[in-house]
Amino acid sequence: MTSQDRPSLGRRPLGGPPVHRPRRLRTTPAMRALVRETRTEPSQLVLPMFVAEGLTEPKPIASMPGVVQHTRASAREAVREAAGLGLGGVMLFGVPEHKDAVGSGALDPDGILNVALADARDEVGDDLLVMADLCLDEFTDHGHCGVLDDQGRVDNDATLEIYGRMGVVQAESGAHLVGPSGMMDGQVAVVREALDDAGHTDVAILAYAAKYASAFYGPFREAVDSSLQGDRKTYQQDPGNAREALRETLLDVAEGADIVMVKPALAYLDLVASIRAAVDLPVAAYTVSGEYAMVEAAAEKGWIDRERTVSETITSIRRAGADIVLTYWAAEIARRA
């Protein structure tokens, strides 16, 4: 068959009007909505919240405009609002007044994170998922995600023992789901075993499976009054590594994770997509403090359209394959839905 014999596949002679007009599907708002491929529902969003000990009123976080350290009372209000907006959940972080080398406040049933979990569960019952960050960094005076050995290194296995106990305390405080975020080897298996042994077989685990040593966490350090000395590069992932993220994720799946997460989100959309293709579990991604702060700062300068940028940001994460997005914009997006 010669080129002249081949069917034209709908092509018109050079210079003629096009046969295929994709713009037909962009003509009106109603048409664009009809054919939109990626949508974000409030139930797919999780609101991270900081609850601080000793506050009498919410304390604004300067590097995260619009985000605060909550009092227990204001946290209750925010959790109640989140349930009313139809959000998927809230992820609670505790900010204690006192810290020590082993993060003992994390295991105290009367510690700020655990009482905040109890408050939230009391407020919303099962109408909203109450999630707990399971890590020691907010509670240690050195700011690391685990306890240190006699040479000042994070002791992986000694930390695991604490994580197991921490998961049980959080479950007993009311958490529907716990999120081991310290990137210790074996953390999901240890937490799952501890929860099951304590009878908390229904408490789910959101594994921070691919958590990178990122510069985008800067404002978060202010949000939790971090005491970090040094960095976390020996346990959080190197930003240049992708295959390692898949390995970490598959290990967490094998250890019993119910959901796996990529953190940060925007700089790692390739990992969101590849992990979505590799696993059958729900995949989450966390729009972290620095990603939030960049948008807010540029919008404050008038350099970008804030509302459209927020929408595009979350859409990009969903389009990459995330089923769940943790974002400080969750309530705002739900109000606009």
- Catalytic positions are 211, 263
Per 3-state DSSP, what percentage of the chain is helix, strand, and coil (rounded to 5)?
A: 40, 15, 40
Q: For residue 277, give every residue at least 6 positions away whose Cβ sits within 8 Å of its Cβ, in sequence order, or none.
A: 321
Distances (CA, A) of 91 to 47, 51, 74, 229, 241: 6, 11, 15, 25, 27
In this structure, what DSSP letter does residue 42 have? G
Residue 30's SS3 state is helix
Reference 101, options 133, 144, 135; nearest CA is 144
In this structure, what token pair is assigned to residue 8?
A: 């034209």
Q: At what angle do helices 156-173 and 112-124 cross, to 10 degrees?
A: 30
Kind and range of the H or E run holding 52: strand 45-52
Distance CA 272, CA 282 (A): 11
Distance CA 9, CA 5 (A): 12
